Chain A
């Protein structure tokens, strides 16, 4: 098998990844709508839902960009493992660090 064939197959697989232009625009519109909703929490009183709703919206936006724009949803799972391992390690380390300063008890 020539390198050209292997790379051709690789490229073909790459092109199957991702979404159509229309799909990307739909994702961007959803992200824009969520951002507008986030900003609205600054003006509208969400009561006890304020903090949970902001955190949920932040996580949804994060996952949408990573999954659709960064193609992690369509790519090899190794990439997901690499990235989410780093992310979870970071979250774990810094939640532990913040806990030692009693941050969550304030």
Chain B
């Protein structure tokens, strides 16, 4: 049997990629993680013994812009996946870098927001609201940061690769992770920022 495998896709008994199957399982389990964090926030958001309340501290116009930036990074990510399927490595690198930059803008916005909140008197242990807010949005921010690292690492690996389209499945998997981070923010933006206590 000739083995001429040139990329990292695997043939399994189900006819599906095991990597992709594993990624969807991972994302399903991540729903439980973020579900727990969001539920905890929902329970504690009104528990302000000290420091500012959510209504006093949230900057909706600023967070709206951040949300828009992250949403648009999903578009650039899907364009990277599309370019990977066409074996267009230049396009892949361009869109992955753009996605990483948009992600970095979002994380930068979050750092600014956390700093502003801290200066206004909301520390991690100021109140149950503060603890649950920083834990939830902080966990999300860490996920975005991990995504940015994966995107930039993939660009570096892709530039060294001599076989066009050899990383198409990896681009798709990182794309799934990135979109998941986006859909988690879609929920956080509505439940945390837009719905008042």
Contacts and interface: CB of A to CB of B under 8 A. Distances in A.
Q: Do A and B come from one complex?
A: yes
Contacts of A2: 1-4
Given A83-B24, A94-B35, A35 B67 contact: yes
B186 A61 contact: yes
B78 interface: yes
The DSSP consensus for interface residues of chain B is helix
Interface in A57-106: 57-58, 61-62, 65-66, 68-70, 76, 78-79, 82-83, 85-87, 89-91, 93-94, 97-98, 101, 103
Contacts of B127: none
Given A10-B11, A32-B68, A54-B190, A65 B179 contact: yes
Contacts of B116: none
A82 B74 contact: no
Contact of A103 (B27, B36, B43, B74): B43
Which bracket fits the contact residues of B?
A: 35 or more
A69 B5 contact: no
A62 B183 contact: yes
Contacts of B86: 15
Contacts of B182: 65, 69
A11 B79 CA distance: 17
A18 B42 contact: no
Contact of B24 (A51, A82, A103): A82
A86 B183 contact: no
A81 to B, nearest CB: 9
B186 A58 contact: yes
A31 B81 CA distance: 19
Interface of B: 1-7, 9, 11, 14, 16-17, 20-21, 24-25, 27-32, 34-36, 38-39, 42-43, 60-61, 64, 67-68, 71-72, 74-75, 77-79, 81-82, 85-86, 168, 172, 175-176, 179-180, 182-183, 186-187, 189-191, 194-195
14 contacts: A10-B17, A11-B9, A11-B85, A28-B74, A31-B74, A38-B190, A38-B194, A39-B64, A41-B194, A62-B183, A76-B16, A82-B25, A83-B31, A94-B35
Interface of A: 2-4, 6-7, 10-11, 14-15, 18, 21, 24-25, 27-28, 31-32, 35, 38-39, 41-42, 51, 54-55, 57-58, 61-62, 65-66, 68-70, 76, 78-79, 82-83, 85-87, 89-91, 93-94, 97-98, 101, 103
